[in-house]
Structure 1
């Protein structure tokens, strides 16, 4: 049964919350310029210090509302509850949620709720499921319109993976039955189209905790003109333009092949002088 959620914001704004879907005519805005920010969390627990950094960077304390989009998960009610709680526990009561569902048409009121959100928050689950709902739709376009207005798009785990133009799906093409990425090989790590807010880097998450070095090293050599960014749990990067700042409890690793062509022996990849930087809380780096 479809559930409809509604939240009264500032006694004037009512969220028309419900399940919605794809339309065939939608497209991203032509421009990718914006004054918006990204808050990209590597998954895991989200301590109050991390949530407060997200709130402060978004400007939510000065007004506006947060909106939870739980389409990555098969348990949207739970994701909405926990997503809202992290805001209300830290002083933000103006929080709504919309669970868009493929196959049903979004109302203009729902799309306006997305366009005008001060902060859009995408919880974890499956990045493929999320993009399956929003890709090429008016929903995706509305998310971009919010970003281009200068608002924040935030996400954790799968919600982090969708931020880049080239999105890691989690699928191994050469070794589909393996439980982990045990090889550094060409053509094994599957990519698909993400939301595309970051065009010059690929994002990975749960990075240190789940030892995802092999797949990100493979992608670094296969995409030598892109930086590959591994964000650990309870840690985030705040992206504004081409600048990124680390906040949180752990580390962010950045691999850069510096444009060099990889060597190949069969499917095995090789490269020399790959640049690795390991950033801690408070460190800043450039995406370009």
Structure 2
């Protein structure tokens, strides 16, 4: 094989990887379901109820992924704590899905739990545990299929951070960043935002990632509810969501502070007060 042949083959591999990696963010047009992204703390009954409602109400089949938590490796009653709140809200079926093994996450018998799921909920903990186990596996593809057929993905705290491609993994003033699932394209999400004064670290991430259109800071007991098909979002819960839009050219940084019922448009992240409620 000549050096030219090696170069061409390497170029094909690189371009192919680029298409795969770029396509995972670009597949958003195929995803027509909803996201319920919560900032941590106590989850209000109204937000939990909204998640179940979007999943089908009494007919909802929910899969809970506790992998972010170290308690996910426990047995018996400890695991039931991840499921009990959803059972109380009357879902038809609530199942647990957990592994630390990427090989296991690629097995058809493991992924089968998601085949008829209407919704998937990611519990809190360490978001990197979830991406380490599932990102790029058959389980990841199955999560996306839930959205593609109009289902719901939701999560709180760590389960919020993993929703975007640029994923905040830790840090106080200066964030550490990894790669998330990219279910919500074009932005970066931070959680416990006002309670733990995290706006500055989110601004730092925006400065380091000019390709990101906006930063979305979600406070505790609060949710960003996204309709991917209609390309709209609204706020639910007890506190605030702050949308940070980096300056473009001579325009200043735009900061919008939003409470329950307020919303806007995906892509532009322009705020349209009560846009979803007006169009129901």
Between the aligned partners of 1:88 and 1:283, the Cα distance in structure 2 is 29
Distance 2:81 2:35 in 1: 20
Aligned alpha-carbon RMSD (Å) = 2.2
**Residue 102 of structure 1, CA deviation:** 1.3
* Deviations, residues 28-52 of structure 1 (Å, cap 9, x unaligned): 8783322111110100001212211
Question: Deviation string for 1:207-230 (max 9, x for gaps)?
Answer: 110110110121233334511000
- Does residue 66 of structure 1 match 2:62? yes
Q: Which residue in the other structure is 1:245 paired with?
A: 234
Partner residue in 2 for 1:112? 112
Using structure 2 for the length normalisation, give the TM-score.
0.78
Cα distance in 2 for residues equivalent to 1:250 and 1:150: 28
Query: What is the TM-score with the length of structure 1 in the denominator?
Result: 0.76
Instruction: State the Cα distance separating 1:191 from its structure 2 match.
Output: 1.9
Do the aligned residues in 2 keep the contact of 1:60 with 1:119 (CA within 8 Å)? no
Q: Report which of the two has the higher share of helix.
A: 2
Distance 1:146 1:103 in 2: 20
Q: How does 1:1-288 map to 2 (within 5 A)?
A: 31-32=27-28, 33-61=30-58, 63-76=59-72, 77=74, 80-102=79-101, 104-106=103-105, 107-171=107-171, 180-181=172-173, 188-224=174-210, 225-241=212-228, 242-260=231-249, 273-288=252-267
Alpha-carbon distance in structure 1 between the residues aligned to 2:132 and 2:78: 18
State the partner residue of 2:16: none
- Equivalent residues of 2:52, 2:60 under 8 A apart: no
Structure 1 unmatched ranges of 5 or more: 1-25, 172-179, 182-187, 262-271
Structure 2 CA distance for partners of 1:38 and 1:71, relative to 1, 3 Å: same
Q: Is the 8 A contact 2:55 2:61 kept in 1?
A: no
5+ long unaligned stretches in structure 2: 1-19, 268-280
CA displacement 1:136-156 (0-9 Å, x = unmatched): 211111111111111101100
CA contact (8 A) 1:35 1:240 kept: yes
